[in-house]
Every structure is written in structure tokens, then in C-alpha cells.
């Protein structure tokens, strides 16, 4: 039996508990891979009660989770209490969320878990508690550091109809422009290709590299960055045997016919990549962190405080994240 997936609690006051419960209840119908939740069993039981759900929770170790999964939702204590009510984070929220992430990484690095799947966090809550990372992606890279060096994390948003990667991630547009470089585009694309080969089973991934400026700079009349920064990166990738094309005008990259010509769109900044995928695949898009020594996926949505504890949360993206994590783990094996 493959190792179970380690699912983090996420923000305890958000919809993470709701979608976790909903996903486990559909485990047989959807043939979901075994997973266990790292968090506070009492908090999860309280949420189930608030939602009117009758469910068996099993206090287990990571090693016991797969055996327990068919009859009960396995919960592994992450060592931090979570007392927040739905929609109302409290002083325990940040500590509980971060402890869950740390334990998940420990479990996957030690071979107890096959992959990490993370429920949504509330970055504003973490920032107030002293969290110094832009988001999950960068925190996971720090936890994966060996010899004092953290790997370069690459954020991919994946769905059956579209996969996108932003070269610069959680930065203002001004900062993204300052950090964008030929070297960064090349190193990002190399990681995308390596992981799509080893973890998604694509023998020769095809990359579409977007331009930075409108119309990919219009031959320099709308900015020289596409000629001086992006085009050299594409040429380096091609010389290495990578199937890359670009720089392409971003406004014509994402219609149905265009999407059939590549396996991943590599874009220059956050919104250039995320707006298209959240438009065409909002329900089933999955956040995947590439470049780490382990597999990590996550639902592509936030904590949704406004509907936490109401029963309105849709577990589709979490279900897709669990399935993709299991698929990637199997491919890697």
C-alpha cells in the first residue's frame, strides 16, 4: 500500500475543516487516495457538529492512517490546539496552521507520507503572528532546505485543461519587473520541465513562454524587455533541447485552440498566469509546488471565512489536489 497523503489543517477558522470532512465522506464514491489530517481532533469534531455531520474520527499515527482511512477520518495530532470559531481566527490560529505544515513536511521527508496536501491558510493572520514568508510556497522551500540552501520553489496551477506557472509570484507588479531576469526564466522553466517529466509523466513537455509587455512588446515599441530578457531565455531553453516557444502575446495564449499546442504556459508575473486558469478552471484547479524534494499540492482557493461552518464550501479543488498528489507520487515511484 502506498503511503497516505499528509493533509494540513490550514487556517482553523476557514473552510479547510469543512472541505476535509466533505472529501472524506465521498472517499468511496470517488475512490480517493488515503489521507490523514494533521491538526486538532477536538476542533475538527466541533466543526463536524456545527455542520450537522455524523462522522467517526480516529486518533492515529501517520503509520496507522492508511489502515484507519476506510472506516474513519484519520487525525494525527500536530501538537497545537485550535480554538477559533468558523470565520473568526483567534490567537491559536497561526500557531496551529504552521505546526501542521511543519509536521507534514517532516512526515513526507521521513517517508511516512507520500505527499503533502495543504488546506488554505490566511496570510494576514500569519503575518500578525510574525510569519515572514510571502506564502505557502516560500515557507515550504525553507522547510525543505538542506545544508543551509533552500531549493527554488516554482508555483504551478494545474488543471486538466490548462497548466500555468508564473516566473515571479507574490510580488507587486513593480517588484516583479525588477526581479524578472533571463536567468530566472530559464531556471524556472528547467524546474517545470524536470517535474513534468518525473512527476506528471510527460516525456517531452511543451512550454509556451509569454511575453511581458502587451503584444510581447510589439518589436520593442511597447518595451524592450521581451527582446532583451525573455527572448534570450527562450533561446537558451531551445539550445538545451527543451520544447519552448515565445515570447508570445499573453492575450492570445489561452483560448481553446492555443491551449492544445502546449503543456504549460510560463508567464512573467502572477496575474498573467492566474487570471486565465481561474477563469477556465476555477472549480478544479490545483496549486502545485515544483522544485521541492517532495510533492505538494493544494486547493486553488482561499479560506473563505464568510462561508466557513455553513456547509456551502465546495470540496472539488481539494479533491482534485488529493488526486493529483497521489498521481504524482505514483509517477515518481
pLDDT score for 11: 95
Regarding whether 192 and 125 lie in a shared domain, the answer is: no
- In-domain check, residue 320: yes
Read off the pLDDT of residues 150-166 as tens digits, 9 standing for 90 and up: 889 999 999 999 999 99
With a cut of 90, say whether residue 282 has pLDDT above it: no
Across the range 198-218, mean pLDDT stands at: 95
**Domain span at 141:** 1-151+290-333
Query: Rounded CA gap, 322 and 135, in Å?
Result: 20
Regarding whether 121 and 41 lie in a shared domain, the answer is: yes
Positions at the binding site: 136-137, 170, 215, 270, 278, 287, 296
Positions at the binding site for a divalent metal cation: 170, 215, 270
Confidence label for 283 from pLDDT (cuts 50, 70 and 90): confident
Regarding whether 247 and 326 lie in a shared domain, the answer is: no
- In-domain check, residue 156: no
- In-domain check, residue 188: yes
Confidence label for 123 from pLDDT (cuts 50, 70 and 90): confident
Higher-scoring residue by pLDDT: 65, 141: 65
- The torsion angles phi and psi of 313, rounded to 5 degrees, stand at -70, 135
Q: What's the total number of domains in the chain?
A: 2
Q: How far is CA 196 from CA 36, 163, 301, 308, in A?
A: 26, 11, 23, 34
Mean pLDDT of the chain: 94
The closest of 93, 68, 272 to 168, measured between CA atoms, is: 272
- In-domain check, residue 81: yes
- In-domain check, residue 139: yes
pLDDT score for 131: 86
Regarding whether 306 and 270 lie in a shared domain, the answer is: no
- In-domain check, residue 94: yes
Positions at the binding site for substrate: 136-137, 278, 287, 296
Regarding whether 166 and 226 lie in a shared domain, the answer is: yes
Regarding whether 144 and 3 lie in a shared domain, the answer is: yes
Query: Rounded CA gap, 142 and 256, in Å?
Result: 37
Read off the pLDDT of residues 162-190 as tens digits, 9 standing for 90 and up: 999 999 988 899 999 999 999 999 999 99
Across the range 114-126, mean pLDDT stands at: 93
Regarding whether 253 and 130 lie in a shared domain, the answer is: no
With a cut of 90, say whether residue 321 has pLDDT above it: yes
Sheet holding 73-77, edge to edge: 57-59, 73-77, 35-39, 5-8, 115-117, 296-299, 286-290, 154-158, 163-166, 264-267, 206-210, 243-248
Regarding whether 201 and 167 lie in a shared domain, the answer is: yes
Regarding whether 110 and 65 lie in a shared domain, the answer is: yes
Q: What is the pTM of this model?
A: 0.92
- In-domain check, residue 117: yes
Across the range 183-203, mean pLDDT stands at: 97
Regarding whether 298 and 246 lie in a shared domain, the answer is: no
Regarding whether 189 and 94 lie in a shared domain, the answer is: no
Indicate the range of 29-33, 132-136, 287-291 predicted with least confidence: 132-136
Domain containing 193 — which CATH number? Answer: 3.40.718.10
pLDDT score for 145: 85
Confidence label for 1 from pLDDT (cuts 50, 70 and 90): low
Across the range 27-36, mean pLDDT stands at: 96
Read off the pLDDT of residues 229-262 as tens digits, 9 standing for 90 and up: 999 999 999 999 999 999 999 999 999 999 999 9
Indicate the range of 83-92, 142-151, 312-321, 324-333 predicted with least confidence: 142-151
- In-domain check, residue 35: yes
Confidence label for 134 from pLDDT (cuts 50, 70 and 90): confident
Confidence label for 132 from pLDDT (cuts 50, 70 and 90): confident
Regarding whether 146 and 81 lie in a shared domain, the answer is: yes
Amino acid at each position: 500500500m502506498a503511503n497516505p497523503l499528509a493533509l494540513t489543517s490550514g487556517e482553523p477558522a476557514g473552510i479547510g475543516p469543512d472541505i476535509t470532512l466533505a472529501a472524506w465522506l465521498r472517499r468511496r464514491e470517488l475512490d480517493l487516495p488515503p489521507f490523514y489530517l494533521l491538526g486538532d481532533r477536538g476542533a475538527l469534531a466541533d466543526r463536524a457538529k456545527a455542520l450537522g455531520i455524523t462522522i467517526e474520527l480516529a486518533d492515529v499515527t501517520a503509520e496507522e492512517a492508511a489502515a484507519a482511512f476506510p472506516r474513519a477520518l484519520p487525525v494525527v495530532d500536530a501538537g497545537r490546539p485550535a480554538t477559533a470559531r468558523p470565520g473568526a481566527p483567534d490567537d491559536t490560529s497561526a500557531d496551529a496552521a504552521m505546526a501542521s505544515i511543519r509536521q507534514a513536511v517532516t512526515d513526507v521527508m521521513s517517508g511516512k507520507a507520500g505527499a503533502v496536501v495543504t488546506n488554505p491558510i490566511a496570510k494576514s493572520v500569519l503575518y500578525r503572528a510574525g510569519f515572514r514568508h510571502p506564502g505557502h510556497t516560500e515557507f515550504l522551500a525553507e522547510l525543505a532546505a538542506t545544508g543551509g540552501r533552500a531549493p527554488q520553489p516554482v508555483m504551478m496551477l494545474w488543471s486538466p485543461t490548462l497548466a500555468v506557472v508564473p516566473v515571479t509570484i507574490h510580488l507587486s507588479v513593480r517588484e516583479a519587473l525588477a526581479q524578472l531576469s533571463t536567468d530566472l526564466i530559464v531556471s524556472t522553466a528547467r524546474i517545470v520541465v524536470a517535474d513534468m517529466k518525473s512527476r506528471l509523466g510527460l516525456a517531452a513537455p511543451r512550454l509556451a513562454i509569454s511575453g511581458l509587455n502587451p503584444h510581447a512588446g510589439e518589436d520593442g515599441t511597447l518595451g524592450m524587455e521581451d527582446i532583451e530578457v525573455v527572448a534570450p531565455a527562450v533561446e537558451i531553453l531551445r539550445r538545451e533541447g527543451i520544447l519552448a516557444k515565445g515570447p508570445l502575446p499573453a492575450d492570445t495564449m489561452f483560448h481553446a485552440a492555443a491551449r492544445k499546442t502546449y503543456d504549460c504556459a510560463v508567464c512573467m508575473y502572477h496575474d498573467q498566469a492566474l487570471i486565465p486558469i481561474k477563469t477556465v478552471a476555477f472549480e478544479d484547479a490545483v496549486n502545485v509546488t515544483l522544485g521541492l524534494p517532495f510533492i505538494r499540492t493544494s486547493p486553488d482557493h482561499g479560506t473563505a471565512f464568510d462561508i466557513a461552518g455553513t456547509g456551502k464550501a465546495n470540496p472539488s479543488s481539494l479533491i482534485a489536489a488529493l488526486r493529483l498528489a497521489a498521481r504524482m507520487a505514483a509517477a515518481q515511484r
